[in-house]
Amino acid sequence: MILHIDMDAFFASVEQRDNPDLQNKPIIVAGNSSRSVVSTASYEARKFGIHSAMPVFQAKQRCPQVIIVPGSRHKYLAASKKIMNIISGFSPLVEQVSIDEAYVDIKGCEKLFGPPEKMAKEIKETIFKEVFLTCSIGIAPVKFLAKIASDMDKPSGITLICRDKMNHFIESLPIAKVPGVGKQAMKLMEILQVQTLGDIHQYDPGLLNKKFGKMGTRLYELSHGRDQSKVECNYIRKSISSETTLTQDISNFETASQILLALSQRVGRDLRKERKLCRNISIKIKFSDFTQITRSRKIESWSCSSTVIFNEALSLYTKVAVKKKIRLLGVGVSGFQDKNTPIQMDLLCPPREKTKKQWESVDKAVDSIMEKFGSDMVIKASLTPSKETRKKKR
């Protein structure tokens, strides 16, 4: 199955998210000259018939109180980066097609995330929790249907077209909805009395090719539910992180270190799942007054060990000398290298290499238990702070 994830009114939603004065109001992101066109309209503005590519003066005619917001590309890019990174945490096969849109091949992911709908729901919730933006997701056995499906229940919907309903869906799908069928092609469709994609069946592929060129052949294939285009993975994950907003603000070192340990284990597990080693480790702390800091450090050698990540995270945390109460903690890793790439060993510290090897086998064992019995089990058991941590505290 393939997912198509599309952010809802992306630019406008980012602006509304960042400015409470714009929330629940008709806004458009556009330049403010008489010749500008609408880049994105909020859903409130769409109710007035305003849409992308409409001249701004026309939008103002339709809705005089519309608020025009100049775009801020760096903000959209930052949000997009976070979103794509979240998506790539669910499947390594991600094809980003624009700033706010991606296809995801979820082959082999069911073991980890359950059936496609459940996975889509989790992606949607994670994006909302971390970026405060909504998206719509289409799920289908082929790419073009996934794209059509994501548009069917906007905003914030999930639409599934399963294999056995695919033919029925194609029979009733208006031909104008098929990507690539524009105004010019629609004129011909009318002459041929083609109203739905299913109506294409009755025509000979040779004739379709003559009338529509390459697109005719493609339409014939699509009308039979065949779409050869694959998800072309073009997104490479550059960081892995995990963070948690605490149910209660904390100030106690012991509790913070327990949370850092759980987060480090999760990050380490993701890292090992992707067969990667990291070189940079970072922490993020948000305080009860909503101020936020991040600290990061380059480690001595490449690693994918949860223990290494935890030790660094804890040492970064200790250096911060936290005085305020904490509402959120996060651990992240970056600077990746494939695990198979040969890495030069540091000959001067063989004993450390040995402990590293030992920790790696612990990680391996923990990972396989988690895989079998779920992640809660092992995290709880190992969340008792180690003697070493207690000593460090003193």
Binding site for Mg ion (CB under 5 A): 6-7, 10, 100
Phi, psi (5° rounding) for residue 74?
A: -65, -35
Name which of 104 and 109 has its Cβ closer to Mg ion. 104
Q: Do residues 11 and 76 touch, judged by C-beta distance below 8 A?
A: yes
Name which of 11 and 220 has its Cβ closer to Mg ion. 11
Angle between helix axes 205-212 and 214-223 (nearest 10 degrees) is: 140
- Alpha carbon distance 247, 244 (integer Å): 9
Please say if 101 is a catalytic residue: yes
Name which of 6 and 44 has its Cβ closer to Mg ion. 6
Catalytic residue, from 15, 44, 95, 101: name it. 101
Q: Do residues 314 and 293 touch, judged by C-beta distance below 8 A?
A: no
Phi, psi (5° rounding) for residue 286?
A: -110, 130
Q: Which residue has the tokens 């524009």?
A: 182
Alpha helices per DSSP H over the chain: 10-18, 43-46, 56-62, 73-88, 110-113, 116-131, 143-150, 163-172, 183-191, 205-212, 214-223, 253-273, 306-320, 350-373, 375-382, 387-393
List, in order, residues 6 or more apart from 333 with CB less than 8 Å away. 239, 240, 241, 267, 271, 278, 280, 281, 282, 309
Name which of 95 and 100 has its Cβ closer to Mg ion. 100
Q: How far is the CB of 182 from Mg ion (least distance, A)?
A: 19
Name which of 82 and 295 has its Cβ closer to Mg ion. 82
Cα separation values, 22 from 28, 44, 65, 79, Å: 10, 10, 12, 18
Q: How far is the CB of 84 from Mg ion (least distance, A)?
A: 13
Active-site residue set: 101
